[in-house]
Chain A
Amino acid sequence: MQLCDFSAIELSCLIHQRKVSAVEVVESALKRIGDVDGRPGSLDGGEENIEDGQHVHAFITLTSERARATAKEIDDQLGAGNDPGPLAGVPFTVKDIFCVKRTPSTAASRILASFISPYTATAVERMLTAGAVMLGKVNLDEFTYGSSNESSAFQPSPRNPWNLSRVPGGSSGGSAVSVATGEAPLSLGTDTAGSIRQPAAFCGVVGMKPTYGRVSRYGLIAFGSSLDCPGPLARDISDTALMMNAIAGTDSRDATAASVAVPDYLSGLEKGVKGLRIGLSTDYFRITFIDPHTGEYSEISLAPEIENAVRLAAQKLKEMGAEVIENVPMPNTRYGIPAYFVISRVEAASNLHRYDGVKYGYRSPKSTADLGEMYRRSRGEGFGLQPKLRILMGMYVSAAQYSEQYYRRALKVRTLIRRDFENVFDPHGAYRLDALLTPTTPTTAFPMKAIYGDSVLMQYADQLTVPANHAGIPGISLPAGFDSDGLPIGIQLLGADFSEALLLQIGRAFEMASNNEPWRQRKPEILQKQDK
């Protein structure tokens, strides 16, 4: 076990006690990156070779020298008797959708490949203020548009560390990979339909989507402004809580960052679950989707291995004193994706109109007769297929003649989805749940190239996570075992607005109850190779 395999809490303690230096920790992380990451994603990455297939490719930009310099500053502060903060010397990675001053901030898109941000996102700034050391920017689906990381303009795209032929999930795939491989104990991601929780589930780590407005979006390159939530990815619940302590809270630069007091997410972690009411819903054990080729609706049950993992977790929580409530109705779950196809596209189209080749980012090098041609060429060459798809759909469903039929209808359906949650979390209602326990994903990590290109099927990977984004509520995915292919299974806890502390408490109880199970000892394929 190397230093980089320690948890963030362990590293913070060791560094504060000066048993190890922040520089040693960063060097350990950089060595791990050198061992497992391979070449970073780049534009025009060319054909993948055999060596590419043996690495995980989490990074787009590695900021090694900055990390070393910051770590030395941390050590110097400690040497002078000052406390650099609760995350002193703890390395972290940043999804390349956050702006970081004087650092490439690409959104994994050609159109922003040359953009050097003049300012830093609040969530990143808060990590740095807490003493954490940024190692670099990690890959994602272009502008976060995807669930596999394959749409990144920066190739090779990340690979799943548990099976290198599988996707890591997305869009925070680089974040999940960097945490799962020990490149960093913490990563900052974003979740618009499941983009923290789904890759966390696929890569066997913890990922939390906080309540909308719990973490500032200032400095986040926007996708769906009413849905986007920055949040942590970590290897365990305690580290997730530690990172939430650093990043949560109101922000004068983001008018949607809610003015709600931030609790100490670490202090109540081990209160247990006695007396808590945890729900199970059959609406989360099946997915309904339309076959775009036949127009027929299909309803299929999830793989028994995934449902069993949820039920086993429920049984453990019950044995610890929780009350498990079966058959909780969540009837509008199935409408999450169709509504998302409308709402997210309208917001994406609006946000993507700003990329015009004038103020920043890509401008076509080809000669253009006038401004209009420059716009068309720059946007045509700079955007990949997935942003283009979202722009066009967003414009279509919000056009004056279709807006009532599509956009306003979707916003009303969003109300129904929100009401499903309000109904079951109502403390005076019939169910009075503290949390809903569900699978995170309909499947485990799928093979690379298996789905990419089918934009409908890819979107349905988020069917069990997107309702929380519509409703704005918090959710967390945590590892709960493996399927017969050796791929991680994630389970999800959903709670009422601003109930992150309670979700972390329940998650920690499950961790303690399953801590001695053999699957907890498994290591990702890529790390097993390193041991040989």
Chain B
Amino acid sequence: MPKSTQKMEITREVFDHLVSLAAIQLEDEQAQYLLRELNHQLASIHELEAIPLSADLPITSNGVPYTASTKPELRNDEWQAFPAPQDIIDQAPQHEDGYIVVPDIPHTTLE
């Protein structure tokens, strides 16, 4: 991989903060790869800044607009029991007597 000549817009400090928020433990080799690729992707994203966008241009959060006739009717908000709850509990990495078991939950007293 050629060495990037671009400035590192996402610094190691910002990167480490993101990693902390994302709750992902990384090995250093992984961190170096991810930091480099994030900056490469950001360079591509900057192409969007060259596009003149009017302030009143609406956003599109979903490609196909839903109309009154195409928007599906919502179900009634009624509780339905899942027929095999044990199948769900069985997927938990650790469970006991129908409860999911986790390590100690740290508590912080808010000031």
Contacts and interface: CB of A to CB of B under 8 A. Distances in A.
Interface of A: 102, 114-116, 118, 211-213, 226-227, 250-252, 254-260, 289-290, 292-295, 297, 334-335, 337-339, 341-342, 349, 356-363, 368-377, 379-381, 383, 385, 388-389, 391-393, 395-397, 405-406, 408-416, 418, 453-456, 459, 469-473, 497
Contacts of B87: 102, 116, 118
Contacts, number: 222
Nearest to A468: B63
Contacts of A470: 60, 63
Contact of A338 (B40, B45, B61, B66): B45
A294 B71 CA distance: 46
A295 B5 contact: yes
A59 to B, nearest CB: 23
Contacts of B104: 369-371
B64 A392 contact: no
A393 B48 contact: no
B103 A260 contact: no
B41 to A, nearest CB: 5
Contact of A293 (B3, B22, B91): B3
Nearest to A258: B70
B24 interface: yes
A48 B55 CA distance: 54
B91 A389 contact: no
B81 interface: no
Contact of B22 (A118, A341, A391): A391
Contact of B58 (A227, A389, A392, A415): A415
A292 B44 contact: yes
A376 B24 contact: yes
Contacts of A257: 72
Nearest to B85: A118
B110 interface: no
Contacts of A297: 47
Contacts of A469: 63
A416 B52 CA distance: 11
Contacts of B49: 405, 409
Interface string B52-94: 0100011111111010011111110000001010011011111
A88 B66 CA distance: 34
Contact of B60 (A114, A211, A396, A411): A411
Given A370-B106, A395-B21, A413 B51 contact: yes
Contacts of A415: 57-60
A341 B88 CA distance: 34
B68 to A, nearest CB: 10
Contact of B38 (A363, A396, A408, A454): A396
B63 A389 contact: no
A373 B103 contact: yes
A456 to B, nearest CB: 5
Contacts of B26: 380, 388
B93 A362 contact: yes
Contacts of A376: 23-25
Contact of B23 (A211, A362, A379, A456): A379
Interface residues of B, number: 66
B100 A358 contact: yes
Contacts of A116: 87, 90-91
A294 B39 CA distance: 12
B30 interface: yes
A470 B61 CA distance: 9
A368 B105 CA distance: 11
Given A255-B72, A370-B105, A392-B19, A412 B64 contact: no
A338 B90 CA distance: 41
A156 B75 CA distance: 43
B4 A338 contact: no
Nearest to A289: B44
Contacts of A459: 41, 44
B59 A380 contact: no
Contacts of A406: 45, 48
Given A118-B88, A258-B72, A358-B102, A392 B48 contact: no
A379 B76 CA distance: 36
Contacts of A118: 82, 84, 87-88, 91
Contacts of A455: 37, 40-41
28 contacts: A116-B87, A213-B70, A254-B72, A259-B70, A292-B40, A292-B41, A293-B2, A293-B5, A294-B5, A295-B43, A335-B51, A371-B102, A371-B104, A375-B23, A376-B23, A385-B34, A389-B37, A392-B22, A392-B24, A396-B38, A412-B58, A412-B60, A416-B51, A456-B44, A470-B63, A471-B64, A472-B64, A473-B63
Interface string B1-45: 111111000100011001101111110001001100111111111
A69 to B, nearest CB: 20
Contacts of A454: 1, 40
A375 B40 CA distance: 28
Given A226-B63, A292-B41, A472-B62, 4 more contacts: A118-B91, A290-B44, A358-B100, A393-B38
Contacts of A385: 30, 33-34
A274 to B, nearest CB: 29
Contact of B18 (A337, A373, A395): A395
